[in-house]
């Protein structure tokens, strides 16, 4: 017998011997010993206790029923009220409230606010004066009344209209654009003209502009203002020539709404004339008008021609803020070179005024417009006080106008 045969026979005999033997029997302790070793570990023990607790609670409810089954209960559906957004303000509301809201009661009692308390910068001008920041009252000195203008209306320059007296060309050829303008005589120096607008809605800033700005600064009034004629009379008594602001359709109208008598780009000649009769009839004593908004209106040839035609027939000048400089017409025309307070900070406004000065020295004349924010009135009052010392002449805006074709 070979060695391999002998080893195979031995293996088979061993398997035969063990095949009929019963399996070895283990004790209970030996069987659960591995499980008990795992349960002795802390994390496993905590988890096991939680499972036993949940199982006990479930068994309790199953056997005895829901312990709160006999307690009265009720169910109510809660409905959340829909959020109602406040309507967007009209252009008139935004113009009369939003722009002036933080200034409405400033210095009403004559109190002077320390600029340092407002957290705003204080700008020092070349003459050593300072201009405080946004929100501070106007502290520039009141100016003595010099060369008051004749009281309005001047005989022959108005006629009754459907909503008030309307400007007209007198039978002797006099026109409102000249008769109500502030007289001006050039001295050969470069000229700077400034228009401060948005007046008549806020008593504090309106009075500050009238009393603290030089008489050669032109003032522009809002036609919706209460007591408009009284404000114009006061301005002319202090020597200021005045203009009326014509609300014109802007981009985004009617969400962006300048007021109920807004001149619309789609308006025909009759509609524009009717609205202008109301606007122009609000007061007398203005030499010209200016636009309030109107970038959309300016794109309509028909609307602009109707608007300028009315002014030409009535002898009234039109001065725009620079956005309509390519539109000739009216009895006389002019366009501003800069808006000085698009950024309402002392530094930005003074920077624009200095740029206007440089432009005047380069071209011989320049005109700027601004809104009657307290910071604007303050900056203009301080800046103009040293204008002559810097080789410039302050001129009324009417001195910048030209007749069409001249």
CB 337 within 8 A of CB 367: yes
Q: Which of 273, 251, 275 is nearest to 262 (CA)?
A: 275
Pairing of strands 123-124, 130-131: antiparallel
Q: Would the pLDDT of 90 be above 90? A: no
Q: Would the pLDDT of 327 be above 50? A: yes
The tally of domains found in the chain comes to 1
Q: Does any domain span residue 297?
A: yes
* pLDDT tens-digit series, residues 222-238: 999 999 999 999 999 99
pLDDT at 31: 53
What is the overall mean pLDDT for the chain? 79
Residue with tokens 């031995």: 10
More confident residue, 119 or 339: 339
- Percent pLDDT > 70 in the chain is 66
Q: Does any domain span residue 335?
A: yes
- List 287's β-bridge partners, or say none: none
Q: Would the pLDDT of 336 be above 50? A: yes
Q: Does any domain span residue 353?
A: yes
pTM value is: 0.70
pLDDT at 13: 45
- Host domain of residue 109: 91-141+174-400
pLDDT at 55: 60
Average pLDDT over residues 371-377: 96
CA 294/CA 284 separation, integer angstroms:
23
Q: Which of 111, 112, 130 is nearest to 122 (CA)?
A: 130
- What CATH number does the domain containing 227 carry? 3.20.20.370
pLDDT at 330: 87
CA 122/CA 115 separation, integer angstroms:
7
Q: Would the pLDDT of 251 be above 70? A: yes
- Other CB atoms within 10 Å distance of the CB of residue 107: 17
Q: Does any domain span residue 85?
A: no
Average pLDDT over residues 179-186: 97
CA 194/CA 338 separation, integer angstroms:
10
Q: Does any domain span residue 58?
A: no
Average pLDDT over residues 177-182: 98
User: Residue 41's pLDDT band (boundaries 50, 70, 90)?
Assistant: low
Q: Does any domain span residue 381?
A: yes
Q: Would the pLDDT of 387 be above 80? A: yes
pLDDT at 187: 96
The CA-to-CA distance between both ends of the chain, in Å, stands at: 141
CA 223/CA 235 separation, integer angstroms:
15
Q: Does any domain span residue 241?
A: yes
Q: Would the pLDDT of 52 be above 70? A: no
User: Residue 68's pLDDT band (boundaries 50, 70, 90)?
Assistant: low
Q: Does any domain span residue 11?
A: no
Q: Would the pLDDT of 247 be above 70? A: yes
Structure tokens of 242? 């005045």
SS3 236: helix
Average pLDDT over residues 304-326: 94
Q: Would the pLDDT of 319 be above 80? A: yes
Q: Would the pLDDT of 106 be above 70? A: no
More confident residue, 117 or 156: 156
More confident residue, 16 or 272: 272
């Amino acid at each position: 017998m070979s060695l391999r045969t002998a080893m195979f026979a031995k293996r088979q005999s061993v398997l035969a011997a063990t095949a009929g033997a019963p399996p070895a029997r283990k004790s209970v302790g030996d069987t659960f010993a591995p499980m008990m070793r795992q349960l002795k570990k802390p994390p496993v023990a905590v988890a096991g206790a939680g499972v036993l607790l949940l199982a006990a609670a479930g068994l309790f409810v199953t056997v005895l029923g829901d312990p709160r089954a006999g307690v009265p209960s009720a169910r109510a559906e809660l409905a959340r009220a829909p959020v109602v957004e406040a309507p967007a303000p009209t252009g008139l509301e935004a113009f009369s409230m939003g722009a002036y809201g933080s200034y409405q009661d400033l210095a009403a009692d004559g109190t002077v606010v320390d600029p340092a308390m407002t957290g705003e910068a204080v700008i020092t001008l070349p003459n050593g004066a300072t201009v405080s920041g946004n929100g501070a009252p106007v502290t520039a000195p009141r100016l003595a009344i010099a060369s008051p203008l004749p009281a309005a209306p001047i005989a022959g320059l108005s006629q009754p209209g459907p909503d008030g007296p309307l400007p007209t060309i007198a039978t002797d050829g006099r026109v409102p654009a000249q008769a109500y303008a502030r007289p001006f005589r050039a001295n050969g120096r470069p000229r700077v003209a400034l228009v401060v607008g948005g007046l008549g809605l806020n008593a504090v800033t309106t009075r500050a502009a009238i009393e603290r700005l030089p008489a050669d600064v032109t003032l522009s009034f809002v036609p919706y203002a209460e007591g408009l004629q009284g404000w114009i009379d006061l301005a002319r008594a202090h020597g200021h020539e005045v203009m009326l602001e014509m609300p014109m359709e802007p981009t985004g109208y009617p969400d962006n709404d300048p007021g109920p008598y807004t001149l619309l780009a789609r308006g025909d000649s009759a509609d524009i004339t009717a609205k202008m009769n109301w606007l122009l009839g609000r007061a007398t004593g203005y030499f010209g008008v200016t636009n309030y908004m109107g970038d959309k209106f300016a794109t309509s040839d028909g609307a602009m021609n109707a608007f300028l035609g009315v002014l030409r027939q009535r002898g009234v000048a039109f001065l725009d803020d620079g956005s309509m400089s390519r539109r000739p017409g009216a009895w006389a025309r002019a366009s501003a070179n800069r808006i000085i307070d698009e950024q309402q900070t002392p530094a930005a406004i003074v920077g624009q005024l200095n740029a206007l000065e440089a432009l005047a020295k380069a071209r011989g004349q320049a005109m700027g417009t601004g809104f009657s924010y307290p910071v604007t009135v303050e900056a203009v009052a301080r800046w103009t006080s040293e204008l002559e010392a810097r080789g410039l002449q302050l001129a009324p805006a009417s001195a910048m106008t030209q007749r069409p074709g001249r």
